[in-house]
Amino acid sequence: MLHFAKKRLLYGAIIALSTALLVNLGFYLGLFEGLERKAFDMRARYNSRQPSSEVAILLIDEASLRGMNPIVGRWPWPRSVHADVVDFLAMSGAKAVLFDILFTENERVFGTPRGVLAPSDERLVESTASAGNVYHAAQIVIDEEDEYNKGLLNRPIPNDFAGRFSVALIGAPVSGHNNYYLPFKELYTASKGTGIVEFLSDPDGVYRRTKLFRHYQGSFYPVLPVSPLLDIMKPETIIQEEDRIVLTGVQDGNLQLKTQNSKLKTLEIPLQKDGSYLINMHGDFRPYSMSGVLASIQKIKMGELEGLPVSPDEFKDKVVFIGGSAVGIEDLKPTSTGGNTPGVYLHASVYSNIIRGDFLRYTGPLITSLSILLLSVTVTIAILWSRNIIYYQLGVPFLLAFMYISSSFWWFGHNTVFDIIAPTMSIVISWMGTFAFLGIIEGKDKRKIKRMLSQYVSPSILSTLIDKSPQDVLKAGGGSKENLTILFSDIRGFTSISERLEAEQVVELLNGYLSEMVDVIFRHEGTLDKFIGDAIMALWGARIRINDHGKRTVLAALDMRRQLEAFNQRLVANGLIHLDMGVGINTGEVILGNIGSEKKLDYTIIGDNVNLASRMEGLTKEYGSPILITESTYEEVKTSIPCRIIDMVRVVGRKKGIRIYEPLDAREGDVTDKTISLSEEGFNYYLKRDWDAAIKSYSGILSIRPDDRLSEIFIGRCENYKNEEPPSDWDGVYTMMKK
């Protein structure tokens, strides 16, 4: 058994480590990245949370385009429309206005001299300058060179733009951006700030991350949501490290930032290994439609201040992001929370993340590798060391996967991102690998069991043992204590019978008898232990574990008696001799296992309770009872099988006396009932030394069972005790002087 356990431990370690190595290899080669992104999206949608109350979004939606089409025509609208919106938001007391709309070229109006701003552009510039809190969009990109743009690539950014809007970012890597698109000069000059609005999509086209600063020719520029934050926080230094951006000396400007160190005012923003920021997408922004704001502006211009569709108060102290959701504006993007998301939601989410400290933190590859190893080992152990296929070998892997995935969803809600796919794959692969291993070794085990037990148990039991509990049988080969019921049967007077028959007749007779008896034993799901000459030793309760093994054994003994009657009828019809047998049964704890030498092993039982069962068989000749059972067996069958008390005996090798009983055939009806009651009555009188009353009871048994040897024995004992009383310490126990 120890060797078996060591073998399992070795193979289990090989399976678990091989699985962990294989899955980790796939993980570091990026084989699971596509599925991992989908798993990230599922958690993002499940854990979508409300944005900061400081953020407001003004959307140019389909209703806005339809409403403005009769007035100003198709998109893009004249810049004066946006100027009106800026004035409206300035009047409302908005903290900042951020345009996710590019104004990179001047409007061309017929009749306007070259170099002179069109009236609409001029209105937007004036409104931007007057508000003093407007941030316009720019782009820094990597363009492929072609005939049209090759003279435009790698141009230097205007000095006045770089001087005002670049950021001193320490430690950030440079990049290969080679082109830019800025607001027209007068507009960026009038702006409070500018921000880069180009995002990075993952290989599957979904937008989940961004770089918070973009590099161009030695300078760094913030993305749109970061630009107003820098103006408000005024950090002393900005340092980009391998996994974070650190802003020190932060002045929060009433933003109530969740900084890591309130005393030093240090803000740390976590980054991915590629330097990108993982966006914690917020949902349910509840944007305002630009159509409502424009309608309110129109009413205000007409002097109607009551019943405005959108009140200016809605935007007081808000950071307002202006973007588009209409299809024609072409700013719908697939994000982690769904497809066709307005791009402005990405900017608003980044801003909301930073001011609330609502950052997603990836646990990193080391945690993933350790999770893979731990889950592989746990699944392998659960399958190799468990016997119950449903609850452990199948249940544990599913439970582990469910618990790991559920906890990953829970941790995501607490801003911690675990890898899901690779650890889950480790569960699946270790589960499949371990079952494949079990299929190989259990095939060998089942063949070994079949060879070992095919001669001991019925085919149906053998099939059950092989299918349900092969390891129990193999472990039992090393020895185990079991509570079971043992049966011994023996042909009475077989020695003298064999002396009167030819050898061939003896073999034929004995084989026929043993075959009949073994069929009965197998029919009652017993295990044949061995033949001892003409004797049979069988047991119940192992290897199929049953609670009623005592009852099954006694029923088998009664059936053996009936089968013997039928067998005797055939013997007599063929002119052969009539057989009789005795059966002894005992229930108790024994040692079960393969016992013998290396060259010859028997799968058998040993112990004092085995000897006691053998003694019961020997006593059947003394009492003339075909079947005798001990009191331990009687306790198991007394409510289901009629039994009569026989005696209290002390057998050879035991100091304590035990009660013994004879099971009776219930088919005899009243005879059985009367026999049981008279036997109980007579034996009680016997123990009380009321010899005459005992004689009367046993005589009553003889009146219905004239050949009852037990009654004759007790009548004889009572007559003797009437002549010579037993000693005062007599306890009624009869000591057997022979085995």
Q: Say if residue 686 is in the same domain as residue 565.
A: no
Q: Please indicate whether residue 219 or residue 265 has the higher confidence score (pLDDT).
A: 219
Locate 519 and state its tokens.
Answer: 């069929």
Residue 388 has pLDDT above 70, yes or no: no
Output the pLDDT for position 199.
Answer: 84
| DSSP letter, residue 335 | E
229-238, 298-307, 474-483, range with the lowest pLDDT: 474-483
Between these two residues, 177 and 394, which has the higher pLDDT value? Answer: 177
* Site of tokens 């930073």: 354
Same domain, 70 and 173: yes
pLDDT band at 546 (very low <50, low <70, confident <90, very high): confident
Other beta carbons less than 10 A from residue 738's beta carbon: 7
Q: Is residue 471 part of a domain?
A: no
- The backbone torsions φ and ψ at residue 601, rounded to the nearest 5 degrees and listed phi first, read -120, 145
Looking at the domain assignment, is residue 228 inside a domain? yes
Among 82-86, 100-104, 471-475, 721-725, which stretch is predicted with the lowest mean pLDDT? 471-475
In a domain, 655, yes or no: no
Give the pLDDT score at 86: 95
Same domain, 11 and 54: no
Tell which of 356, 390, 424 closes a domain: 356
Tens-digit pLDDT profile for residues 5-33: 667 778 788 888 999 999 999 999 999 99
Closest Cα to residue 229, out of 258, 260, 251, 210? 251
Record the tokens describing residue 728, joined without a space. 């005062």
Side chain identity, residue 207: Y
Q: What angle do CA 8, 9, 10 make, to 5 degrees?
A: 90
Distance CA 700, CA 706 (A): 10
Confidence of residue 580 (pLDDT cuts 50, 70, 90): very high
Task: Report d(CA 514, CA 532) in Å as an integer.
Answer: 11
Q: Considering only residues 736 and 425, tell me which one the structure prediction assigns the higher pLDDT.
A: 425
Report whether pLDDT(257) > 80. no
Say yes or no to pLDDT of 715 above 60: yes
Domain count, the chain: 4
Shared-domain flag, residues 59 and 173? yes
Report how far Cα 731 is from the mean position of its chain's Cα atoms.
63
CATH number of the domain where residue 601 is located: 3.30.70.1230
> Alpha helices, DSSP H only, in 483-599?
494-500, 503-523, 549-573
Report the largest interatomic distance among the alpha carbons of the chain, rounded to a whole angstrom: 152
pLDDT tens for each residue of 267-288: 999 999 889 999 999 877 889 9
Q: Establish if 464 belongs to a structural domain.
A: no
Q: Are residues 14 and 61 in the same domain?
A: no
For 489-505, the pLDDT digits (tens) are 999 988 888 888 888 88
pLDDT > 90 in the chain, percent = 57
Residue 69 has pLDDT above 80, yes or no: yes
Specify if 271 maps to a domain: yes
